[in-house]
Amino acid sequence: MSSVADSHPRHKSKRLASDIIGQLEDRLALNDRDIPTWLELIERTVQKDKIESVREVYERFLKKFPFLTKQWVAYIDYEVVRGEFDNANNILGRCLKSTTSVDLWKCYVNFIRRKHSVITGGDEARRVIFQAYETATNQVGTDPGSGSLWSEYLAFIDDWKAGSTWDEQQKMDMKRKVFKRALHIPLNNLEQLWSDYTVFENDLNATTARKFISETSGDYMNARSLFKEWNNITQGLDRSFETPPQVITDPSQLQKWTKWVKWEKQNKMAETPEVVAKRVDYVYKQAVQKLTFSPELWFDYVSFYEESEFFSAIRVQELLNMSLLANPTSFALNFKLIELYELDNNTALVEKKFDNLIAHLQKEFERADGDLTELKESILSSEIERKKATLAEDEELKPFSAEETEAIFKRSSAVQEQSIELHKMAEVITKTYCHYMKAIKRIKSLQDARGIFKQCRNNKKTLTHHIFAENAYMENTSTGKNVALKVFELGLKPGFFANDGEYIYKYLKFLIKVNDDINSRTVFETTITTKKELIEPKWLKKMFKLFMKYEVEFGQVASVVKLEKKYYEAFPDDAKILSFADRYSLSTEQDDYSVTDDLVRSVDLKMTDSSVAQGTKRRSDDSEQNANKRQHIADDTETSEKAEEEKGEEDDDDGSEYVSDEIYNLLRMLPNSSYFDTPLFNTSKLVKLLGELQ
C-alpha cells in the first residue's frame, strides 16, 4: 500500500493555504476534465494579470476544450483590452475553425469595428465592417437566437451618414436587403424586426411601401410560424453558456437537442441539401458546448458527418479526435475512430489510440486505488486509536496481524464497495486489452496479438480472467484447440484464476464445445470436489446445470441422476421442478431465451415470456436465486430472520423494491398470474367509456 500512496499525486507535499493556483493545478493533475476548476484557475490567473501566464493557461484549456466558445471570447477580449490586436486576430482565426456561436461572431464583428474605426478609416473601414457583418450573418444568422446580431447590423447601417444621394440610395437598398434576409428566418425578435421594417418602408416612400411589404409578408408569416414550432420543440432547452457543461448529462436536455437536430433535417425552410447540412452542423456545434461529456451526442454528430456527402472522411476523424479530448475513456468514440483507422490500414494510429485509451483507464484506476488506500489507512488509524483507548497504562500496543487487518476491512462497507468498483475498473481495462488483441490480430498477425496478450498479463494489478478466455478462443480459431487448452490451463495456475468460478465455467463450456469429453469431466469433477468451498455459488450452480444438460444430450441418464443428487446436496433449497426443467430446455445461453423452448415451463407451469419477465417473485432468467425464492415461498419453513435475509438477497439480485411483510405474505397466497391467459377486466374499454362521458 505504501508504494501506491507514495506514487499517487494526492500524496505529494501539500501546498500552502495561500497557494490557490497551485492547489487548482493539483486538482487538474488528478482530473483534467474538471471544467469548473479550469475556470477558477483562469480567473485566478487573470487576476494576477501576468500576460504570459494568462496566455499559457488559456492555451492549455482551449487545447483540451477547443469547442467552448465562451472561453475563446474571454481570451480574445483579454488580448483586445491590452491592445494586442495581432494576437487577438490570430486567436480568432484559430477558434473559428473549430467552433461557432452567435456570441463568438459578435465578438469577431466587435473586434473588426474596434480595429477599423469608421472615424479614422472612413468609407474603407465601413466597407470592412459591412463585410464582417455579412460574414457573421452568413455563418450564424440562421440561429433563432441571432436576432440581436441582425439588429446590430441594421443599427450600423442606420449610423451611416450618407454624403450624397447615391450613398443614401445605396444605404436604403442595403437596409432593405438585410431586412428581407432576416425576415425570412425564424428569429427570436422577428416581430420587432417586422415592425421596424414596415416603419422603414412607410417612412421611405408610402407609395412603394405597400408593394415591398406585400412581397415580404409571406416570408415573414412563414418564419413566424416556424419560430413558434421551433420554440415548442426546444421548450426548456438550456442554451446559456454562463454555466459550464455538466459531467452527468441531463437526458431531457439531450432529447431536446436531438429534437432540434431532427427538426432542422426536416428542412421546413425548403433550403438546398448543402444549406440543411450546414444548419444541422451548426446545431450540433451548439449542443456539444452544453453536453460536452455526452458520448451519445458526439456519436450522433459523427454519424451525421459520415452520412452526409458534404463532410470528408478526414473531417469525421478530426471530429472524433475532438470528441475524445473531453471523453477520452468513451468506448463508442474510441472504437469508432479505431475502426476508421483500421479501414485506412493505419496500424500505427490504431495502436496509438488503444494505448491512449488504456493509459487513461489506468490513470482512473490508480486514482481510485489511491482513494481506497487512503480509506484503508484512515480506518486502520481509527482502529488503532480505539484500541489504544482500551489498553491499560502499562500495556503495550501490539500491531494488527494480517488476518485482523483483513477482518477490519471486511467489516467496512465503504471498503467493500470501493473494492468492488476497483475490480470492475480492472475488468474494463482487461476487456479493452481483449479488443486491442483482436484488432492487432486482424491488421497485423497472430504473433503480434500474442504480444498484446503478454502485455496485459504483465499488468497484474488490473488483470482479470477475460484476456485468457478471449485469447484461448482466438487461438482455437487460428491454430486449433491444443494451444487454446494451454492458454486456459495457464490461467488456472496459482497466481492467476485457479479459483475463479466464472473462468472455470468458461473453460468448461469451451471443452464441451470442442467435444473434449475427458478434459471436461476432469475439470468438472476437480472443481466440485476440491474447489467447492472456494468458488462463488452462482458459478458452481451454472457448472452443475451445464454438465447435467451435457449428460442429458450426450451422456446417460444414470449420470444425470448422480449429478442431480450432488447438486441438491450442495443446494438443497432449489426448486426441483425448475432445476429439472433447465436440462430439457432447447434454448442455450447463446440464444435469446424463449419460454416456448422449455416444455416444462410453458406447458406444465403455463408460463409465458411476459409472465416470467414481470413477476416480482418470478424473474425471467430462472436463475438459482429465483428458484430459491420460489421454493421458500412454497414451503414457508424459513425463520423470519432468514426470510429477511432472503428478501435482502432478492433486492441485490434483481433490483426489486422492498416489500413489507404484509404484502409479501399476501403475494405468497395469490395464484400465479401466468395461470390466467385472458384478462379478467378489460381496462381499455373502461378508459374508452370514461372518455365518452359528458
Q: What is the DSSP string of 470-522?
A: HHHHHHHHHT-HHHHHHHHHHHTSTTSSTT-HHHHHHHHHHHHHTT-HHHHHH
| pLDDT value of residue 576 | 85
Q: Which helix (H) or strand (E) holds 244?
A: none
pLDDT at 652 over 50: no
Whole-angstrom distance, CA of residue 381 vs CA of residue 383? 5
pLDDT at 682 over 80: no
Measured CA distances, 99 to 66, 180, 280, 483, 499 (Å) = 7, 28, 14, 52, 53
Rg of the chain in Å (alpha carbons):
35
Query: What's the mean pLDDT in 366-370?
Result: 93
pLDDT at 621 over 50: no
pLDDT at 449 over 60: yes
Measured CA distances, 617 to 600, 603, 632, 634, 640 (Å) = 18, 20, 11, 12, 18
| pLDDT value of residue 668 | 61
Write the CATH number of the domain with boundaries 20-229.
1.25.40.10
Query: What's the mean pLDDT in 326-353?
Result: 96
Of residues 283 and 593, the one with the higher pLDDT is 283
SS3 of residue 49 by DSSP: coil
Lowest mean pLDDT among 236-240, 354-358, 609-613, 688-692: 609-613
The pTM of the full predicted model, rounded to 2 decimals, is 0.80
Whole-angstrom distance, CA of residue 268 vs CA of residue 341? 37
Q: State the burial class of residue 322 (Cβ atoms within 10 Å of its Cβ: 0-12, 13-18, 19+).
A: buried
Query: What's the mean pLDDT in 221-242?
Result: 92
| pLDDT value of residue 625 | 46
| pLDDT value of residue 7 | 42
Question: At 598, phi and psi to the nearest 5?
Answer: -115, 100
Domain assignments of the chain as residue spans, ordered by start: 20-229, 251-344
Query: What's the mean pLDDT in 251-265?
Result: 95
At 74, is the pLDDT very low, low, confident or very high (cuts 50, 70, 90)? very high
Lowest mean pLDDT among 175-179, 181-185, 598-602, 664-668: 664-668
Fold match between domain 20-229 and domain 251-344: yes
Mean pLDDT for the chain overall: 86
- List pLDDT tens digits, range 140-199: 999 999 999 999 999 999 888 877 888 888 889 999 999 999 999 999 999 999 999 999
| pLDDT value of residue 532 | 86
Listed ranges 102-106, 550-554, 622-626, 683-687; the one with the highest mean pLDDT: 102-106
Q: Locate 615 and state its grid cell.
A: 413477476
CATH fold group of domain 251-344: 1.25.40
| pLDDT value of residue 619 | 38
Lowest mean pLDDT among 271-285, 441-455, 485-499, 583-597: 583-597
Please write down the HEC assignment for all residues of 74-131: HHHHHHHHCCCHHHHHHHHHHHHHHCCCHHHHHHHHHHHHHHCCHHHHHHHHHHHHHH
